[in-house]
């Protein structure tokens, strides 16, 4: 029976809307406040976005069915530069962008014309995204919707900023930022192509002196200055002689450009060839030694200054380059120089336990490295660097630093070189190239007199660590990433010159940056409802208002007068805040771990008392399209609304969720969605067929199927609590099928006609469990099952109302395994049966069986030991006659699931003969149309022409087929 998915979607969406089912106010019930990162409306959402929001919706719906009063709201993040950039491109008639709007996003042409105005772009895609969310069936309380450029929101952000500044958490200063030279704006993840966060590192420049000209070398290991033997320059590179403030430097052109962004005045004097410097000598800052400059090909002009100091004892690259020089093969080394070089020996200056005197030499030889362009040198460098950093001690030749640990002395040495006027810093992107959305390559800029969030503040970090420790993080394996991010975070620019958003309240030249105005907005969902109802006026909101709502400061009556609302209304909002806060769960994609999610915690711990700190973070991976990454250039982006129209909301939701657990990448493909559709359609058909009848007195198979159902419900609930949605869906949709088939077979063979009520109950539970995932079709199924209430408003079936009946589980497992055995025998012998005879094991064997089972449950699986203990016991000493029986029984037990073993122990002995006589005959009759005879092994009258009975074991009776 085919389902008209679109009709089903609309029917139930209409019903939910009519009943205001997703509007949540405070009440007497326990609440859950579930939020998800609000979308940035610069394009319609595609299937990839759908994953995060669908997971959040399933979570919300599940908790609602568990009895919580769940609030799931949504806002729209207009702040930032990307929309502005798009508007500029539309104005400039950028055909590629406009073509994309038309063909990929299907934006009407008259709308595109308006897109030169940034807000028009945001509004258009805002409505588009919202419609998609409604069509996906998300249970959002739309009364609380807002955008980040609404006047009330801007007042809220101003309050946040003033508050942070008062706490000295927003500071003015000079700090490095990722920077777009074209836009003249700081850049973070949302501003770059491919959404990469610019990441940078600080090099120390040590300046050597060549007749008054500085030869600057960039290093991460200033302490190794004491081991310098020479300087490396690349003879193939054209360097520049530049004026840096008042000094003359030799550096690569790339370095000269980078220095220009670090608050240095740079003037290029002339180009100079690297080869000109080979053989010259420069004075080291720490001694009177002259250090010779030698040629090396591993030195790259885009790295550091393009010149490096050589420490061959501790740096594998330097060691190998020195070996290469000494070999005489390098043409830029003349014979005089070559004979000089032979005297250069590595200077050991760090002692590390486990490493030799010249560790670079040892590792180069160990790794079989034979030239300086060998990529293995990278690994060699890392290995020595980290070992020496953590365990190395500075040797006697390091003067005042001798005996200190590297990890401690590093900064002291840096300071010392700076003091003697020979150091500088160079900041470099570690993940370059990073491209701005405008196409320009980003750099690191030292930004002065800028506003920064002081994320390097130690107390602030500490508080955030405390919050993370208390928080639930799903999946927990991502927890350490948060700790790392927190430790590495430093000052972060929080103002921009361009874009949409809120002005920095005390410096109106600047706008609040988009990763700074999106960190505590969950609190604003409480207020936005009243703004939208026009019960408070956004323009009226003051800091006092927010202080009252969030902190309960001052008298409500006094504040009410000033902002033209009633005292009662203010108290109502305050109470609603107290009711819904803190955020119980925050959902987001994995890409927001290093920024938004960490900032969300940092700002909450800074601005809210501990009882209002976030409780949980849930992180999910992305969606692949038939195994490939989704991208515009691949042309494989499917807009969400288009997919809903094509496949229906529920098949889409399930397909996105069923292929992966949280952190894994989900895969979307057409076969999968068709499989899901078929499954849902057959379930729907069953619902229409299954009548709700009275449940009869329970037969063994009924007790069993209810036990299986109860197990299913417990397993699904456990998976849901951990947001292991893939696992939960598999349980609900597939894991139960073979059990149900068995049950139907059992009932049919017993010619029962009274199981409809039982089937109805089973189906009802499965439909309810399906409801958070596939809310539309679940309502439809629920209605077909004869219910007048909504499935989404019913209680989650954690318990199906029957106890787990361990004995029935043992019974059915026994029956199934006998049927399997009979089938196997028939398959092998290819006979058509005329009669089937079954022999159950003797009484003493059961005692032995239980004894072995107990051994296994206690962790004892050694046959010899078990046999010894059995012989030692009078009750089981008979196994002396048949030690093989022990081995076989032990194998029987070990091949069964642990759960079943435990159940067997608790149930104790069951009367196999009785069960087989009463329950198996009908099955045998049904399956093979023959009679069944059952004997006990100990039965003296038994029919046993082939002498089979002696092979019987507990739960493994012997079978004779004639």
Structure tokens at 854: 């107990």
Decide whether 260 or 279 has the Cβ nearer to Zn ion.
260
Alpha carbons within 13 angstroms on the beta-carbon side of residue 620 total 30
Decide whether 195 or 391 has the Cβ nearer to Zn ion.
195
Decide whether 438 or 934 has the Cβ nearer to Zn ion.
438
Decide whether 180 or 657 has the Cβ nearer to Zn ion.
180
Q: Which stretch binds Zn ion (CB under 5 A): 438-446, 465-473, 585-593, 663-671?
A: 438-446
Smallest separation (angstroms) from Zn ion to the CB of 182: 5
Decide whether 148 or 192 has the Cβ nearer to Zn ion.
192
Smallest separation (angstroms) from Zn ion to the CB of 88: 11
| Segment holding 318, helix H or strand E | helix 316-326
Q: Is 909 helix (H, G, I), strand (E, B) or coil?
A: coil
Site map for Zn ion, 139-178, x if CB under 5 A?
----------------------------------------
Q: Is residue 436 close enough to count as binding Zn ion by CB under 5 A? A: yes
Q: Which residues contact 280 (CB under 8 A, 6 or more apart)?
A: 210, 292, 293
Report the C-alpha dihedral over residues 265, 268, 269, 275, rounded to 10 degrees. Answer: 120
Smallest separation (angstroms) from Zn ion to the CB of 180: 3
Smallest separation (angstroms) from Zn ion to the CB of 185: 7
The DSSP bridge partners found for residue 170 are 453
CB of 840 within 8 A of CB of 874? no
Q: Is residue 180 close enough to count as binding Zn ion by CB under 5 A? A: yes
Decide whether 50 or 118 has the Cβ nearer to Zn ion.
118
The string of DSSP codes covering 583-619 is PSEEEEEGGGIIIIIHHHHHHHHHHS-GGGS--EEEE
| Segment holding 645, helix H or strand E | helix 640-647
CA distances (Å), 189 to each of 82, 195, 434, 513, 816, in order? Answer: 11, 5, 10, 12, 58
Decide whether 210 or 438 has the Cβ nearer to Zn ion.
438
The DSSP bridge partners found for residue 626 are none
Smallest separation (angstroms) from Zn ion to the CB of 719: 44
Q: Which stretch binds Zn ion (CB under 5 A): 145-153, 399-407, 437-445, 690-698?
A: 437-445
Decide whether 187 or 848 has the Cβ nearer to Zn ion.
187
CB of 477 within 8 A of CB of 663? yes
Q: Is residue 183 close enough to count as binding Zn ion by CB under 5 A? A: yes
Smallest separation (angstroms) from Zn ion to the CB of 455: 23
Q: Is residue 673 close enough to count as binding Zn ion by CB under 5 A? A: no
Q: Is residue 440 close enough to count as binding Zn ion by CB under 5 A? A: yes
Q: Is 75 helix (H, G, I), strand (E, B) or coil?
A: coil
Site for Zn ion in 601-660 (CB under 5 A): none
Distance CA 520, CA 533 (A): 22
Q: Is residue 910 close enough to count as binding Zn ion by CB under 5 A? A: no
Q: Which stretch binds Zn ion (CB under 5 A): 183-191, 352-360, 364-372, 910-918?
A: 183-191
Smallest separation (angstroms) from Zn ion to the CB of 192: 9
Among residues 793, 891, 911, 789, the alpha carbon closest in space to that of 841 is found at: 911
Distance CA 13, CA 17 (A): 6
Distance CA 647, CA 640 (A): 10
Smallest separation (angstroms) from Zn ion to the CB of 106: 28
Alpha helix ranges (H) inside 690-786:
700-721, 725-730, 737-749, 756-770, 775-784
Q: Which stretch binds Zn ion (CB under 5 A): 330-338, 359-367, 440-448, 728-736?
A: 440-448
Decide whether 84 or 278 has the Cβ nearer to Zn ion.
84
Smallest separation (angstroms) from Zn ion to the CB of 800: 59
Q: Which residues contact 250 (CB under 8 A, 6 or more apart)?
A: 210, 213, 214, 215, 216, 239, 240, 241, 242, 272, 277, 307
Site map for Zn ion, 382-421, x if CB under 5 A?
----------------------------------------
Q: Which stretch binds Zn ion (CB under 5 A): 431-439, 528-536, 702-710, 891-899?
A: 431-439
Q: How far apart are the first and last CA of the chain?
A: 44
If binding means CB under 5 A, how many residues of this protein chain bind Zn ion? 6
Smallest separation (angstroms) from Zn ion to the CB of 433: 13
**Biggest CA pair distance of the chain:** 116
Smallest separation (angstroms) from Zn ion to the CB of 263: 20
Site map for Zn ion, 250-289, x if CB under 5 A?
----------------------------------------
**One of 113, 167, 182, 462 touching Zn ion (CB under 5 A):** 182
Smallest separation (angstroms) from Zn ion to the CB of 183: 4
Distance CA 143, CA 146 (A): 9
Q: Which stretch binds Zn ion (CB under 5 A): 182-190, 242-250, 684-692, 847-855?
A: 182-190
Smallest separation (angstroms) from Zn ion to the CB of 264: 22
Q: Is residue 88 close enough to count as binding Zn ion by CB under 5 A? A: no
Smallest separation (angstroms) from Zn ion to the CB of 198: 12
Decide whether 215 or 434 has the Cβ nearer to Zn ion.
434
Structure tokens at 477: 């394996």
Decide whether 141 or 513 has the Cβ nearer to Zn ion.
513
**One of 90, 266, 292, 438 touching Zn ion (CB under 5 A):** 438
Decide whether 192 or 518 has the Cβ nearer to Zn ion.
192
Q: Which residues contact 593 (CB under 8 A, 6 or more apart)?
A: 478, 481, 482, 485, 619
Could you identify the residue written with the tokens 């139960």? 736
Decide whether 323 or 440 has the Cβ nearer to Zn ion.
440
Site map for Zn ion, 474-503, x if CB under 5 A?
------------------------------
Decide whether 440 or 826 has the Cβ nearer to Zn ion.
440
Smallest separation (angstroms) from Zn ion to the CB of 157: 24
Distance CA 157, CA 603 (A): 12
Smallest separation (angstroms) from Zn ion to the CB of 679: 48
Smallest separation (angstroms) from Zn ion to the CB of 713: 54
Alpha carbons within 13 angstroms on the beta-carbon side of residue 197 total 12
Residue 308 zone, left/alpha/beta (φ > 0; ψ -120 to 50; rest): beta
Decide whether 150 or 183 has the Cβ nearer to Zn ion.
183
Q: Is residue 196 close enough to count as binding Zn ion by CB under 5 A? A: no
CA distances (Å), 225 to each of 219, 310, 324, 733, in order? Answer: 10, 9, 22, 66
Smallest separation (angstroms) from Zn ion to the CB of 85: 7
Decide whether 196 or 624 has the Cβ nearer to Zn ion.
196
Decide whether 180 or 495 has the Cβ nearer to Zn ion.
180
Decide whether 434 or 879 has the Cβ nearer to Zn ion.
434
Distance CA 772, CA 792 (A): 7
Q: Which stretch binds Zn ion (CB under 5 A): 181-189, 272-280, 405-413, 533-541?
A: 181-189
Distance CA 69, CA 509 (A): 43
Triad 555, 530, 565: Cα angle to 5°? 40
Q: Is 57 helix (H, G, I), strand (E, B) or coil?
A: helix
Distance CA 249, CA 240 (A): 8
Q: Is 174 helix (H, G, I), strand (E, B) or coil?
A: strand
Distance CA 525, CA 520 (A): 10
Q: Which stretch binds Zn ion (CB under 5 A): 125-133, 351-359, 433-441, 465-473?
A: 433-441
Distance CA 946, CA 538 (A): 92
Distance CA 119, CA 51 (A): 27
Q: Is residue 84 close enough to count as binding Zn ion by CB under 5 A? A: no
Binding site for Zn ion (CB under 5 A): 180, 182-183, 436, 438, 440
């Amino acid at each position: 029976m085919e389902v008209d998915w679109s009709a089903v979607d609309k029917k139930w969406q209409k019903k939910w809307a009519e009943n205001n089912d997703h509007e949540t106010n405070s009440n007497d019930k326990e609440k859950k406040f579930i939020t998800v990162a609000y979308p940035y409306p610069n394009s319609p959402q595609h299937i990839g976005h759908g994953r995060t929001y669908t997971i959040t919706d399933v979570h919300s719906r599940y908790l609602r069915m568990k009895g919580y009063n769940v609030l799931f709201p949504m806002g729209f993040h207009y702040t930032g530069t990307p929309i502005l950039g798009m508007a500029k491109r539309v104005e400039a008639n950028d055909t590629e962008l406009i073509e994309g709007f038309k063909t990929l996003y299907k934006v009407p042409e008259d709308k595109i014309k308006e897109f030169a105005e940034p807000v028009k772009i945001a509004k258009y895609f805002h409505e588009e995204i919202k419609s998609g969310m409604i069509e996906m069936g998300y249970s959002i309380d739309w009364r609380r919707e807002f955008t980040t450029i609404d006047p009330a929101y801007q007042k809220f952000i101003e309050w946040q900023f003033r508050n942070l500044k008062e706490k000295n958490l927003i500071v003015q200063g000079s700090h490095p930022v990722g920077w777009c030279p074209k836009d003249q704006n700081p850049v973070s993840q949302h501003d770059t192509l491919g959404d990469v966060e610019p990441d940078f590192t600080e090099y120390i420049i040590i300046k050597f002196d060549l007749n008054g000209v500085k030869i600057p070398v960039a290093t991460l290991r200033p302490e190794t200055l004491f081991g310098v033997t020479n300087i490396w320059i690349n003879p193939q590179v054209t360097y520049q002689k530049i004026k840096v403030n008042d000094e003359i430097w030799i550096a690569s052109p790339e370095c000269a450009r980078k220095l220009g962004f670090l608050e240095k005045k740079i003037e290029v004097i002339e180009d100079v060839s690297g080869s000109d410097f080979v053989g010259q000598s420069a004075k080291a800052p720490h001694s009177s030694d002259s250090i010779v400059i030698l040629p090396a090909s591993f030195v790259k002009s885009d790295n550091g200054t393009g010149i490096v100091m050589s420490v061959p004892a501790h740096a594998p690259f330097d060691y190998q380059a020195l070996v290469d020089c000494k070999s005489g093969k390098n043409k830029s080394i003349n014979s005089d120089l070559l004979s000089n070089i032979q005297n250069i020996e590595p200077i050991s200056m760090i002692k590390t336990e486990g490493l030799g005197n010249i560790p670079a030499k040892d590792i180069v030889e160990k790794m079989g490295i034979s030239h300086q362009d060998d990529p293995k040198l990278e690994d060699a460098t890392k290995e020595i660097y980290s070992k020496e950093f953590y365990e190395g001690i500075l040797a006697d030749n390091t003067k005042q630093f001798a005996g200190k640990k590297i990890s401690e002395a590093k900064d002291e040495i840096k300071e010392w070189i700076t003091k003697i006027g020979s150091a500088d810093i160079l900041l470099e992107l570690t993940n370059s190239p990073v491209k701005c959305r405008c196409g320009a390559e980003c750099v690191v800029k030292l930004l002065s007199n800028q506003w920064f969030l002081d994320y390097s503040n130690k107390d602030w970090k500490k508080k955030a660590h405390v919050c993370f420790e208390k928080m639930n993080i799903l999946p927990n394996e991502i927890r350490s990433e948060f700790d790392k991010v927190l430790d590495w975070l430093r000052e972060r620019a929080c103002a921009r010159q361009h874009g949409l958003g809120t002005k920095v309240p005390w410096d109106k030249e600047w706008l609040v940056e988009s990763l700074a105005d999106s960190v505590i907005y969950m609190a604003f969902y409480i207020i936005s409802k009243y703004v939208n109802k026009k019960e408070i006026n956004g323009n009226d909101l003051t800091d006092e208002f927010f202080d009252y709502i969030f902190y309960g400061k001052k008298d409500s009556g006094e504040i009410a007068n000033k902002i033209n609302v009633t005292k009662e209304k203010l108290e109502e909002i305050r109470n609603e805040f107290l009711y819904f806060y803190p955020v119980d769960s925050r959902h987001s994609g994995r890409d927001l771990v290093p920024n938004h999610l960490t900032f969300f915690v940092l700002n909450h711990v800074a601005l809210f008392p501990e009882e209002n700190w976030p409780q949980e973070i849930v992180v999910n991976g992305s969606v692949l399209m038939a195994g490939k990454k989704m991208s515009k250039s691949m042309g494989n982006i499917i807009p969400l609304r288009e997919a809903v129209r094509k496949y229906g909301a529920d098949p889409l939701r399930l397909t996105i969720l069923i292929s992966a657990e949280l952190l894994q990448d989900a895969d979307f493909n057409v076969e999968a969605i068709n499989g899901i559709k078929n499954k849902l359609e057959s379930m729907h058909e069953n619902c229409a067929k299954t009548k709700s009848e009275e449940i009869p007195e329970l037969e063994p198979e009924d007790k069993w199927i209810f036990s299986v159902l109860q197990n299913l419900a417990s397993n699904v609930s456990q998976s849901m609590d951990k947001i292991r949605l893939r696992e939960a869906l598999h349980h609900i949709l597939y894991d139960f099928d073979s059990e149900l088939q068995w049950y139907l077979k059992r009932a049919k063979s017993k010619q029962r006609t009274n199981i409809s009520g039982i089937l109805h109950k089973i189906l009802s539970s499965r439909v309810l469990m399906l409801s958070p995932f596939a809310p539309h079709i679940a309502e439809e199924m629920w209605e077909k099952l004869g219910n007048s209430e909504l499935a989404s408003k019913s209680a989650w079936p954690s318990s199906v109302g029957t106890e787990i009946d361990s004995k029935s589980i043992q019974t059915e497992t026994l029956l199934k395994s006998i049927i399997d055995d009979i089938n196997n025998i028939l398959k092998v012998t290819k006979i058509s049966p005329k009669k089937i005879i079954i022999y159950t094991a003797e009484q003493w064997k059961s005692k032995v069986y239980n004894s072995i089972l107990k051994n296994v449950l206690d962790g004892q699986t050694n046959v010899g030991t078990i046999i010894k203990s059995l012989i030692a016991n009078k009750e089981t000493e008979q196994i002396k006659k048949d030690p093989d029986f022990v081995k076989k029984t032990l194998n029987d037990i070990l091949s069964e699931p642990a759960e079943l073993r435990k159940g067997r122990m608790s149930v104790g002995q069951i009367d196999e003969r009785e069960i087989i006589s009463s329950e198996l005959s009908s099955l045998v009759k049904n399956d093979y149309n023959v009679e069944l005879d059952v004997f006990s092994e100990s039965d003296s009258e038994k029919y046993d022409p082939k002498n089979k009975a002696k092979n019987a074991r507990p739960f493994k009776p012997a079978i004779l087929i004639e």
